[in-house]
Chains A and B, each alone.
Chain A
Amino acid sequence: MVNKIAESTAAAIADIKDGATILVGGFGTAGLPFALVDALIDHGARDLVIVSNNAGNGDTGLAALLKAKRVRKIICSFPRQTDSWVFDGLYRAGEIELEVVPQGNLAERMRAAGAGIGAFYCPTGYGTLLAGDRETRSINGRDYVLEFPIHGDFALIKALKGDRWGNLVYRKTARNFGPVMAMAAKVAIAQVDEVVELGALDPESVVTPGIFIQRVVAVGMQAAKVA
């Protein structure tokens, strides 16, 4: 019997090793898998590379992981926010490495990883600092930058409901990076408000098909926090 349900968040993330690259869902706090990140802090893995849209809000979630000095490098689109004081302090002290990636490139590079694409030409960022010294090419009169996939060892994402095959549905704009991160990681772990019986999710409405998910853990209703 296929059963991807993990009995606890601790069990779900137990094999994350030091130095792992972890894709963490969320846009601000919407869709941020707080329960899994808390479990990761307790677990103690360090020297991590985190890929996430932001670099932590307030003192919880990713900010708490950063504060615990577990993160060597963060790849994100928008680290600087009004409540990113934990990241700001570490960055200014030279204690964390930052790679800024345009938001759509971040999503597409993960999608490419999940879709088996070796690299792709993308117009975003052409002629800017963020194109770096990557290869460029003009195609039909438009200029593109060669972008490479971002693969994760693990993905930690948040969904509304999941079943034991790993099928997921999300809630509103909390969906954000979840589906692409699930595709892009070797091991994708979803915290869900509720685990439902196989067949309870309408196949027409499944957003992430279970093939992209390795573990599901129920954490109960966890409302997003004020951003």
Chain B
Amino acid sequence: MQKLNREQIAARVAQDIPDGAYVNLGIGLPTMVANTISDEREIILHTENGLLGMGPAPAKGAEDWDLINAGKQAVTALPGASYFHHADSFSMMRGGHLDICVLGAFQVSHMGDLANWHTGAADAIPAVGGAMDLAIGAKRTWVMMEHVTKEGHHKLVKTCTYPLTGKACVSRIYTDLAVIDVTPRGFEAIELIAGLDFDELVRLTGAPILDARQKIAA
């Protein structure tokens, strides 16, 4: 069994984004999804600081620091792009206009609760940015993350122990081991990487998980 690396998880997410979708890619791991979308596909990227039609990073030396993404990195604007202020930008999210939002996570519960903004550590300075707005705003909120932590702790759990970002907001999770839907029945695995036993996935998942691969194939 060969776990997916981060690029491969990103490519797997990209495969499920339909042409024409309005998509917000969260800071960190999800930004890698943009690099795996082939040029012939048209997907409109939103960045919450006020741009639709976000393009790739500019060449070194050609940065315009009035043109940045949510991670404050220099980006470009594609033909057809538009700029807008923050109240409009967050209306696009909160108002359900964005099709898909892809976020990283510390933990996701089998009810779809998301924890990704704060470790809750006593000395941590809380900083939320647009995480809570993104979590609950898009038509579909997807998470991409490693299936377990570096220390081997569960990240798919019954109840999040980290402070919540949003309740019952995640609909699908892409990990280095599987693609998992969050349903009224809890976690349902719809795809496993080659060579992974379902029993092993169950062991690495901190809440009940159903094998729904046949349902998809059917």
Contact = CB atoms under 8 A, between A and B. Distances in A.
A109 to B, nearest CB: 10
A78 B136 contact: no
B94 A123 contact: yes
7 contacts: A27-B86, A77-B128, A102-B131, A103-B86, A126-B166, A172-B83, A223-B66
What is the interface residue range for chain A against chain B? 35 or more
A178 B120 CA distance: 32
B51 interface: yes
A143 B136 CA distance: 11
Given A104-B93, A108-B90, A128-B164, A176 B85 contact: yes
A129 B66 contact: no
A180 B86 contact: yes
Give the residue among A91, A128, A171 with the most B Cβ atoms within 10 A. A128
Contacts, number: 151
B72 A28 contact: yes
Interface residues of B, number: 43
Contact of A104 (B51, B73, B133): B133
A10 B39 CA distance: 50
B141 to A, nearest CB: 13
B51 A173 contact: yes
Contacts of A124: 94, 132-133, 136-137
Contact of B167 (A27, A80, A102, A127): A127
The 4 closest A-B pairs by CB, nearest first: A104-B90, A104-B133, A224-B65, A227-B72
A30 interface: yes
Contacts of A101: 128
Given A107-B90, A172-B83, A176-B49, A31 B66 contact: yes
B132 A79 contact: no
Q: DSSP class of B's interface residues: helix, strand, loop or mixed?
A: loop
A226 B65 contact: yes
B170 to A, nearest CB: 13
A107 B87 contact: yes
B85 to A, nearest CB: 4
A79 B127 CA distance: 6
B152 interface: no
A226 B94 CA distance: 30
Contact of A102 (B72, B83, B123, B132): B132
Given A102-B131, A174-B66, A107 B86 contact: yes
B118 interface: yes
Contact of B127 (A77, A108, A179): A77
A93 B165 CA distance: 27
B83 A179 contact: no
A125 interface: yes
Contact of B64 (A78, A98, A103, A172): A172
